[in-house]
Chains A and B, each alone.
Chain A
Amino acid sequence: MKDPIETLKLALQNEKKAREKAEAILLHRTSELLEVQEALKKKTIEFDGVFQNILDSFILMDIMGNVIKMNDAAVKLFGYNIKNEDFNVLNIIYKDDFEYAMNSFAKLIEDGSFENYEARVYTKTKEVKWVQINSSLIYNEEGRIIAAQGIVRDITQAKKDTTVFDEQQEQLTAIVDNSLAGIVLAQDRKIVKTNRAFQKFTQQTEEELFGVPVEDLSYEEAHEESRMYYDQMVSGEIDRYDLTEKYKRKDGTYFLSKTNVSAIRDASGSIKYQLAFVQDITEKHKRRLMLNTLNNLTRSFIGKLNIHDIAWEIANVIARDLEFEDCVVYLVNKENKVLEQIAGYGAKVDENKEIIDKIFIPFGKGIVGHVAETGKAELIHDTSNDDRYVIDDKRRYSEITVPIIVGGEVIGVIDSENSAKKFFTKQHLRLLKNVADLVSIQLTNAANLERTIEAESQNKELLENLQRSNKELQDFAHIVSHDLKSPLRSINALISWFQEDYEEVLDDDATETFDKLNNKLEQMDALIDGILRYSSVSDKNVITVQSVNVQEVLEDIQTILYIPEHIKFIYPEELPIIQADKTRIKQVFQNLISNAINYVDKEEGKIEVTFEEHKNFWKFSVEDNGVGIAKNYHDKIFKIFQTLNEKGKSTGIGLSIVKKIIELYSGEIYVESEEGEGTKFFFTIKK
């Protein structure tokens, strides 16, 4: 057993040793820390000079992110000043950039430095700024990290500028790339840059096009003109020019272009670049071509009335305008059920416009015969796949066949073939259908025209016949009336002589008989005169249009006609002046008034003329208070030789003449009458 004091003494010693040991360690630690501090101090002093002299912001921070040193620029940039406050960089990292910042920091620790850290930070005033930081670690002599330093550049403005520039670049590229027009930049007429549209047009890539002389791409036909313009541009006469030219495609086809070339000059005025805008107008050109074709055809159809003439126009115009290899027009022969070639263009026609080896295609045979039967147009891209195809002079691979339909019936077929496959387009088909419609209309018109001409000639003939008949009738009336009148005169003379020669032996009865005889002669004479007047009413040679004062007419009539004392003749004080033939107007009134006089049976007779003015005509009336006319005779009285009077007082011609005259002036005549009361005649005369 050990002595307890001894044990305590031993423990105390041990404790003393441990403390000594701990103190030694502590001392060592402290000296270490002092060393670090010393080194840091040294480094700090080392950098201090640099520190003050750099314009960029500079910060020094410990590994926890606490800033331990910052220059004035940094103070200005961040708004924090470590002299007054704590500043830890972790607190100012823009939220979206945190991950990037941490990664970058890890990389800094790993590599010892990090360049071109670009991220956003919050300033003290919560402003967001873009900064670019180049940083490195600081080690102590033993190689331990003691701090990190960074040069911070404010790139907010630069960043903004870059964004704008990028945007503009992007916009410009968008414009250029999305432009439907091809854009070509050339230097000394060699391609420097092209846009997508132009690459698409030419079927070449930007690389393939680079450095290619522009003339290599276009057809030679426009080169001369192009060179001429270019020379003028070089000499400064012009700054831009337009040109229509064809450009080659990679696949051997071409496109038609409207090219607009501008000069881009340097400060001295020399041409630096040529900028060309290239528009593919192939389709537009084709459309115009088709429209022109249609126009040309329409024009050429004018005056052509038969299918043969029209067919030749179709064949020639279509083939020429649309650059078809051939075009044949067939006519349907319904009787023999065949199609006959009646016009053509191309291999089927010789120099005398005669069809070589004319063939007749039976209905239903070949594509043409088939179309004739169905009445439906056909567009065939490859005839070698079509069993119906009939080789005429040689096989051609494309075919377009359109029926000409008039009145629902196929009367002909327009057909064109081409050596190339897929030569004909839907546009071609549409055009040919239009042409066929046009032909149909033209032929229908022609048929109508023929009918019209025929009808016109028939009308003319009828009119001539009518005129001749009228003339003959008038002549006849004159001759007959002369021949009839002469004997009347002879009879009258003979009676007179008889009376003279046998005066002594003739008693009163005989004289009375002779008077009656003479009376009959007078009636007959009046009748003949009436017929004559009637027949000459419409004699155009004698119609004049003059101003007729109706009042004067009525005054004249009063002197011609005997109006008995007991009949009052009344007319308005103011009567119009009308445009007509005076003699005829007088005939109208004279006939109506003398009729009225004849039929007045009252003790106090009255005849009254009145008138109304209408917009387009005058309306007159002649009224009497005579015997009147029964209703069933109202129409009859206007017919020639119709008289209601049995006593031979009238000839029955008077009212016919009146009606005929009124009708001559596009007027109307009618009667209102009550038997025993009187009669009122109305008539109108066109103004």
Chain B
Amino acid sequence: MIGDITLTPMVENLSFLFIEDDEIEVMKFKRSLKKLGFKHRILEAKNGEEALAILKKKEELPNVILLDLNMPKMNGLEFLKELKQDEHLRYIPAIIVTTSNNHKDMLESYKLGIAGYIIKPLRYEDYILKIQRVIDYWMVNEVITF
């Protein structure tokens, strides 16, 4: 027990908060999941600001956050900083999904505390493979719920 956080045993259906400003990327993620036959719940946010607004409502908190770094208004790193300052939200695993293999971005992200850093491959099929592995990984994990 950490505060009012409870651990939920392995579940069939996880909920993801997918933070991405690019419409096609969102479609890619959704379509990948559909293709892979997953029935996970997906919350969408177009940028960090929107994502924070969703999270702060605390009506429905995701098990895992996937986010891009380059976004308008509030970028990925700014969002992470905000997230990590919240005494509850900070425990939600956040995974970066980005095209940037910039060393500095990577280092900064890990410093802020991320659960993974995934670089978007060029080929769609490679993308599907990566997403499958990430989701498989989180599906075998015990995750926390609030």
**Within A618-644, which residues are at the interface with B (CB < 8 Å)?**
none
Query: Does residue A101 face the partner (Cβ distance < 8 Å to B)?
Result: no
Of B46-54, B99-107, B132-140, the segment with at least 4 beta carbons within 8 Å of chain A is: B99-107
Whether B123 is near chain A, meaning CB under 8 Å from some CB there, is yes
B22: contacting residue among A478, A486, A518, A541, CB under 8 A: A486
In the complex, which residues 74-100 of chain A have their Cβ closer than 8 Å to any Cβ of chain B?
none
Q: Tell which of A177-185, A398-406, A491-499 binds the partner.
A: A491-499
B124 touches A541 (CB 8 A): no
> Given A489-B99, A490-B24, A479 and B70 touching (CB < 8 A)?
yes
In the complex where A479-B70, A488-B122, A525-B122 touch, is A542 in contact with B103 (Cβ < 8 A)?
A: yes
| Residues A511-527 near B (CB distance < 8 A) | 518, 521-522, 525
In the complex, what residues of A have CB within 8 A of residue B69's CB? Answer: 482
* Chain B min CB distance to A536 (Å): 7
Given contacts A482-B70, A494-B24, A541-B104, contact A518 B123 (CB under 8 A): yes
Q: Would you call B125 an interface residue if the criterion is a C-beta within 8 Å of the partner chain's C-beta atoms?
A: yes
Is residue B16 within 8 Å, beta carbon to beta carbon, of the partner chain?
no
Chain A residues closer than 8 Å to B81, beta-carbon distance: none
Within 8 A of B (CB), among A458-497: 478-479, 481-483, 485-486, 488-490, 492-497
Central interface residue in B70, B99, B103, B105, by most chain A CB within 10 Å: B99
Contact with A along B117-146 (1 / 0, CB 8 A): 000111111010000000000000000000
- Give CA–CA (A479, B69) in the complex, Å: 11
A495 — which chain B residues lie within 8 A by C-beta? Answer: 124
Question: Is A493 within 8 A of B24, CB to CB?
Answer: yes
> A-B contact count, CB below 8 Å?
60
Please measure, in the bound complex, the distance between the C-alpha atom of A482 and the C-alpha atom of B22, giving whole angstroms: 12
Distance A69 CA – B3 CA, assembled complex (angstroms): 157
- Distance in angstroms from A340 CB to nearest chain B CB is 60
A143-175 interface code vs B (CB 8 A; 1 in, 0 out): 000000000000000000000000000000000
A532 within 8 A of B: yes
Q: From B100, B103, B127, give the contact of A482 (CB < 8 A).
A: B100
Assembly CA distance A483 to B72 (angstroms):
12
- Cα–Cα distance between A478 and B102 once the two chains are bound (Å): 7
Query: Separation in Å of the A568 CB from the closest CB of chain B?
Result: 32
CB distance from B119 to the nearest CB of A (A): 10
Task: Report if B82 contacts A (CB, 8 A).
Answer: no
CB contacts (< 8 Å) of A541 on chain B: these are: 103-104
In this complex, which of B100, B103, B104, B124 has the most chain A Cβ atoms within 10 angstroms of its Cβ? B124
Q: Which residues 87-113 of B have a CB within 8 angstroms of A?
A: 98-105
Do the beta carbons of B99 and A482 come within 8 Å of each other? yes
Report whether B124 and A493 are in contact in the complex, using a CB–CB cutoff of 8 Å.
Answer: yes
Residues of B within 8 A of A489 (CB): 25, 28, 99, 120-122, 124, 127
The CA of A518 and the CA of B126, in the complex, are separated in Å by: 13
Q: Which residues of A contact B125 (CB under 8 A)?
A: 496
Q: Are A522 and B99 in contact (CB under 8 A)?
A: no
Residues from chain A with Cβ under 8 Å of B101 in the complex: 532
Q: Interface residues of A toward B: which range?
A: 20 to 34
Q: How far is the CB of A359 from chain B (nearest CB, A)?
A: 69
Contact of B124 among A481, A483, A496 (CB under 8 A): A496
Q: Which of B50-71 contact A (CB under 8 A)?
A: 69-70
- How many Å lie between the Cα of A496 and that of B122 in the bound state? 12
Q: Of B31, B99, B102, B120, which is within 8 A of A497 by CB?
A: B31
A376: shortest Cβ distance to chain B, in Å? 69
Chain A residue with minimal CB distance to B28? A493
Q: How far is the CA of A495 from the CA of B99 in the complex (A)?
A: 19
Closest Cβ neighbor of A542 among chain B residues: B103
A483 and B121 alpha carbons, distance in the complex (Å): 14
Query: Across the interface, which residues of A come within 8 angstroms of B120, CB to CB?
Result: 485-486, 489
CB distance from B29 to the nearest CB of A (A): 10
Give every chain B residue within 8 A of A478 (Cβ-Cβ). 100, 102, 105
B24 neighbours in A (Cβ, 8 Å): 490, 493-494
Smallest Cβ-Cβ distance to B70: which chain A residue: A482
* Contact assessment for B99 and A486 in the assembled complex, using a CB-CB cutoff below 8 Å: yes
Cα of A576 to Cα of B123 in the assembled complex, Å: 39
Report the bound CA distance from A278 to B132 in whole Å. Answer: 109
Chain A residues lying within 8 Å of B99, measured Cβ to Cβ, are: 481-482, 485-486, 489
Closest to A541 in B: B104
A492's partner among B70, B103, B104, B122 (CB-CB below 8 A) is B122
Nearest CB in chain B to that of A499: its residue: B124
Residue in chain B with minimal CB distance to A521: B122
Q: How far is the CA of A494 from the CA of B70 in the complex (A)?
A: 21
Q: Which B residues from 1 to 56 make CB contacts under 8 A with A?
A: 22, 24-25, 27-28, 31
Q: Which residue of B lies closest to A483 (CB)?
A: B70
Cβ of B70: which chain A residues have Cβ within 8 Å of it? 479, 482-483, 486
Could you tell me the distance between the alpha carbons of A489 and B121 in the complex, rounded to whole angstroms?
7
How far, in Å, is A533 (CB) from chain B's closest CB? 10
Task: List the B side residues contacting A494 at CB < 8 Å.
Answer: 24
Residues of B within 8 A of A492 (CB): 122-124
Among candidates A481, A488, A493, A522, residue contacting B127 with C-beta atoms closer than 8 Å: A493
**Residue of A489, A541, A542 most packed against chain B (CB within 10 A):** A489
A488's closest neighbor in chain B, by CB? B122
A22 to chain B, nearest CB (A): 168
A500 CB → nearest B CB, Å: 9
Residue of B nearest to A495 (CB): B124
How far apart sit A485 and B68, CA to CA, in the bound complex (Å)?
13
Closest to B24 in A: A490
- Whether B28 pairs with A536 at a CB distance below 8 angstroms is no
Cβ of A518: which chain B residues have Cβ within 8 Å of it? 123
- How many angstroms between the C-alpha atoms of A485 and B98 in the bound complex? 10
What separation, in Å, do the CA atoms of A539 and B70 have in the docked complex? 21
CB nearest to B32 among chain A residues: A493
Q: How far is the CB of A247 from chain B (nearest CB, A)?
A: 84
Closest to B123 in A: A492
Q: How far is the CA of A258 from the CA of B51 in the complex (A)?
A: 95
Closest CB of chain B to A471's CB: distance in Å? 11
The chain A residue sitting closest to B22, CB to CB, is: A486
A479-B70, A489-B25, A489-B99 given; name 20 further pairs at CB < 8 Å: A478-B102, A482-B70, A482-B98, A482-B99, A486-B25, A489-B121, A489-B127, A490-B22, A490-B24, A490-B25, A490-B28, A492-B122, A496-B124, A497-B124, A518-B123, A521-B122, A525-B122, A536-B103, A541-B103, A541-B104
6 A-B residue pairings within 8 Å (CB atoms): A482-B99, A486-B22, A489-B25, A490-B24, A493-B28, A495-B124
Closest 9 CB pairs of A and B: A496-B124, A490-B24, A485-B99, A493-B124, A525-B122, A493-B28, A478-B102, A482-B70, A482-B99
